[in-house]
Chain A
Amino acid sequence: MTILIRNVTLVDALGERGPADVLLGEGRILSLEGGDAERVIEGKGRLLAPGFLDLHAHLREPGQEVKENLATGLLAAVRGGYTDLVSMPNTTPPVDTPEAVRALRKKAQALGLARLHPAAALTQGQEGRLLTEAGLLREAGAALLTDDGRTNEDAGVLAAGLLGAAAFGLPVAVHAEDASLRRGGVMNDGPLADLLGLPGNPPEAEAARIARDLEVLRYALRRGQKKPRLHIQHLSTKRGLELLREAKGAGLPVTAEATPHHLTLTEEALKGFDPIFKVAPPLRTREDVEALLEGLLEGTLDAIATDHAPHTQAEKEMDLLRAPFGIPSLEVAFPLLYTELHRKRGFPLKRLVELFTDGPRRVLGLRPIHLEEGAEASLVLLDPKERPVDPKAFASKARFSPWAGWVLAGWPVLTLVEGRVVYQALE
């Protein structure tokens, strides 16, 4: 089917331009100057961007479907404007075999929503001891290797994992946090944690592990024939950012992501003792948030990734020591940052869109999508109209949100994967 989106403003990593009349067909952008189409959509006042890619989502399948499954998770993704998504392997059992990767991809393809790029475990059972089969996992379609959720205590195993993954062009993503320094911390360590009587997770636990992992990367770089690639997940501290900046300055092949919650919330949110705000790494201070924003602007941070982590309502109504870590955010990530960063703080739209599109694509070694003739029609149409966040209306099984009631603009109203409509909420 051919689709014409009229009078729409184009925005991608190259910038904002238009309005254009975008003609889509055969899975591609056929023209930016209109033409006959079977379906015409009014794009006036709206933004058209390349489809978003999330590097870091927990879809909980297999084994934890009570929290989320591929169908609900990938529907949440397209509702959030994502056409591509990397699922984390810390499922039950963990995704650590080529068969498991193939099974996930097959099932996701049948759903016909966002395209799934499963991450596979770096070590068998995510136990941090024996490596998985990087080459076979790559052939099965794994996008990256990670023991996300675990913290790769053994530096030697991480080094071997980086070398092995590099041979097949796979990045290795790490949850960079020194577990022995973090101990039982459930919120940012500091005066507020002391006051609230909650065990603290110090920012130094993140910095210490980033420093170590960067040295491990140097080692793998020196020893390997192929260039290893290290990706740091959900960076949350100013000090962690400084270490990353220095490493990038020295030319190390390292990338990093920040999450919507670490960019819009601080530790102060824990004052009401609501486990909705319990995440790992924890929400930090205003100073850390400002540092992350700077890191996004200057390019030290490569991508915004959701760390979409659905849980059941009952789990999030436990106490702060027992409730699990995590926030569901696939459906609100873009409007949240469009509103809070771009509209309220003047963060450049071009860069923001890049952090949802080209940035994460580069981390995976995928080609960017730019809005030009011939480009793949995996796109999202964004609406400037404001509406409040309503978790009850989420497609995700996790119907709670720290941003419930926040009034946001920039909601996706149409998501297309290779020219096929996978989500629409057009009035």
Chain B
Amino acid sequence: MRHLLDFAGWTKSEVESLLETAKVMAEVLERPVKKVPALQGFTVATVFFEPSTRTRISFELAARRMSADVVSFAAATSSLQKGESYKDTLLTLEAMGIDAYVIRADAAGVPHQATRWVKGAVINGGDGRRAHPTQALLDAYTLLEALGSLEGKKIAIVGDILHSRVARSNLELLPLLGAEVWAAGPPTLLPQALPGARLTPHLEEALEGADAVMVLRLQRERMEAGLVNLEDYIAHYQVTEERLQKAKPGAPLLHPGPMNRDVELEGTLADSERSLVNRQVHNGVAVRMAVLYHLLVGRER
């Protein structure tokens, strides 16, 4: 693993090994002094061509917890529109001796493009609709904590599947770990086909007997584009207490955030014991430590 762009070409044992490392990192985070020297002398750059707070902080914290130096670059999309080039930005950073780049962009494929220009490891911090692999890893980690194993488990992903990088990455990763993944959403927000996914416009079908439910954010721009009617969405796709009864008793709820309370998810559910939302955020740091460690130190292993 030289870069982490998506899960194409990954094996189950590679993922398991990474998640094992994440466990070790999680232990580090429980200590009074939450810092190890594992990445001393390495420099990690967070290069965010699309604004994001939680992912950037999570990555920066992960790097710092392992004693890496961290630099961050945030470019407004407007300057990209004016023709500022990704390549020049990355080559500038490369000239300063960066070892790993965490790249976030609003267009699919930017991290892939970056690997053609820089020598350092590239980590996809979320690219357009394409992939958000560390989110999927932290989701898998959180699900494993809750369910023990994903083998034969039914996971339902609900919401705007078509435009979701979180859904795409989970649909790559969770089946690799043995889960059966269903994706439900309005027809205009469902892809035609995605490997690893059972797609349905009927929420109940996806929820039936589900071991866990992952709710995605409904984006306002989809409504403006005429792809979905808000009232209709709430009426048919909101995950409510009542609908959740179709799932296994106590089935945990995940959400990658930020959340529209009472739109995609009933507000009370978000605060209920079933909600693992804060656990996901917590686990994000350990998982990202593991990824950085694997890419920078464990490369030869």
Contacts and interface: CB of A to CB of B under 8 A. Distances in A.
Interface of A: 183, 190-191, 194-199, 272-274, 314-315, 317-322
* Interface of A: prevailing SS: loop
A194 B193 contact: yes
B86 A320 contact: no
Given A318-B85, A319-B105, A194 B80 contact: no
Contact of B109 (A190, A194, A319): A319
B209 interface: no
12 contacts: A183-B225, A191-B193, A194-B194, A196-B109, A198-B128, A273-B108, A273-B109, A273-B110, A273-B112, A314-B85, A318-B80, A321-B128
A317 B109 contact: no
Which of the listed residues A198, A273, A314, A317 has the most CB atoms from chain B within 10 Å of its own CB? Answer: A273
A320 B108 contact: yes
A197 B165 CA distance: 7
Given A190-B192, A191-B192, A317-B113, A197 B85 contact: no
A322 B113 CA distance: 13
Contacts of B128: 197-198, 319, 321
A183 B107 CA distance: 16
Contacts of B195: 195
B168 interface: yes
Interface in B22-53: none
Interface residues of B, number: 28
Contacts of A315: 83
Given A321-B106, A322-B80, 18 more contacts: A183-B225, A191-B193, A194-B162, A194-B191, A195-B191, A197-B127, A197-B130, A197-B165, A198-B108, A198-B130, A273-B110, A314-B85, A317-B86, A317-B113, A318-B80, A319-B109, A319-B110, A320-B109
A315 B80 CA distance: 10
A315 B105 CA distance: 17
B107 A322 contact: yes
A191 B195 CA distance: 9
Interface string B120-152: 000000011111000000000000000000000
A10 to B, nearest CB: 45
List of 9 A-B pairs having minimum Cβ-Cβ separation, nearest first: A273-B109, A197-B130, A197-B129, A319-B107, A194-B191, A197-B108, A321-B107, A273-B112, A191-B193
A196 B129 CA distance: 8
A317 B85 contact: yes
Contacts of B299: none
B129 A198 contact: yes
A115 B80 CA distance: 38
Nearest to B111: A273
Contacts of A272: 112
A322 B81 contact: yes
Contacts of A198: 108-109, 128-130
A337 to B, nearest CB: 28
Contacts of A197: 108, 127-131, 165, 168
A200 to B, nearest CB: 9
Contacts of A321: 106-108, 128
A315 to B, nearest CB: 7
A158 B165 CA distance: 41
Contacts, number: 70
B54 interface: no
A319 B113 contact: yes
B284 to A, nearest CB: 21
Q: DSSP class of B's interface residues: helix, strand, loop or mixed?
A: loop
Given A197-B127, A321-B106, A322-B81, A273 B113 contact: yes
A90 B194 CA distance: 38
B12 interface: no
A321 B195 CA distance: 24
Given A197-B129, A274-B113, A318 B191 contact: no
Contacts of B129: 197-199
A241 to B, nearest CB: 22
Contacts of A196: 108-109, 130
B87 interface: yes
B194 A195 contact: yes
Contact of B87 (A274, A317, A320, A322): A317
Contacts of A273: 108-110, 112-113
A272 to B, nearest CB: 7
Nearest to A270: B109
Interface in B67-88: 80-81, 83, 85-87
A196 B194 CA distance: 10
A85 B103 CA distance: 44
Interface in B220-278: 225
A34 B156 CA distance: 79
A195 B167 CA distance: 11
Q: Which of A196, A197, A198, A314 has the most CB of B within 10 A?
A: A197
Contacts of B113: 273-274, 317, 319
Contacts of A194: 162, 191-194
A321 B129 CA distance: 11
Nearest to A319: B107
A183 B130 CA distance: 18
Contact of B83 (A190, A191, A314): A314
A198 B112 CA distance: 14
A320 B192 contact: no
Interface string B146-174: 00000000000000001001001000000
B46 to A, nearest CB: 18
A320 B128 CA distance: 10
A60 to B, nearest CB: 16
A318 B90 CA distance: 12
Contacts of B130: 196-198
A99 B194 CA distance: 54
Contacts of B106: 321
Nearest to A321: B107
Interface string B188-219: 00011111000000000000000000000000
Nearest to A273: B109
Contact of A318 (B86, B131, B192, B193): B86
B159 to A, nearest CB: 15
A272 B106 CA distance: 17
